[in-house]
Amino acid sequence: MLFNSAHAMPITLIKRLNTDALMNKLDEIADFVHHYLAETGKKNSQSATGPEYRWEHTLRVAQWATKLAIEEAADIKTCLVAALLHDVSHFVSEDYSRHGIKSGEIARDFLSKKGYSESFIENVVYAVQSHVSEPDPKTLEAKILQDSDTLDRFGYVRILLFGKMAELENLETLKQKSLSSLAYLDKLERGDYGPMWTKTGREKLRRFLDLNRSIQKGLLGELESTRIPDVEV
């Protein structure tokens, strides 16, 4: 099972959703998403941001969505299912700015075939389709998905990904990327890209921004020091 309760789900969620039927349904959704990403992302399989990275991102977003749903007293099942399906169209969306719309279409088709209620499907699809560019999501579950997706973009794995993709042989390019990252962090903190909707999301993002800013400033300091010392001997 790809979303096994013993390995991937918080104990609080297990206590709230501890039914074999529901766990089997979650595993079925997870299997579908994992395989869909693997098949549609074959051309990118060797990329650092290929289908396995996208799947792992999906799992982390699902974890965040679960935690935030518990904190905010939202519908956990809707948040979790929406998180699992939110990026399913990543490798088939011609216009990435609209991949939420495409993912929602895929989610609707899959959930309909599996016999989920129309009201549940509508809530999941709305959250999925709103997670990219909706400036004012109307449901708490949609807000939680936006926050969860944002949090994973600034976590520890994303920091490692920045390092893996860095052009270490070109320090000037690396410097410019680091400066751009700092400028982006400043804009995010000012709210230029929209708010974080949940209290827990805001608090965690603030810590992540501080961490990212510290790393980027430290990197710039080391790049500045990558030269012969300016001393008299």
10-19, 49-58, 192-201: which range is least confident on average? 10-19
Residue 82 has a CB neighbour count (10 Å cut-off) of 32
* CATH class assigned to 5-136: mainly alpha
Domain boundaries, the chain: 5-136, 156-224
The tens digit of pLDDT for each residue in 99-128 reads 999 999 999 999 999 999 999 999 999 999
Radius of gyration of the chain (CA): 20
DSSP3 helix / strand / coil % (the chain, rounded to 5): 70, 0, 30
Q: Where are the beta strands (DSSP E) in the chain?
A: none
Q: How confident is the model at residue 166 (pLDDT cuts 50, 70, 90)?
A: confident
Can you give the pLDDT at residue 14? 47
Helix ranges (DSSP H) in 153-198: 156-165, 171-190
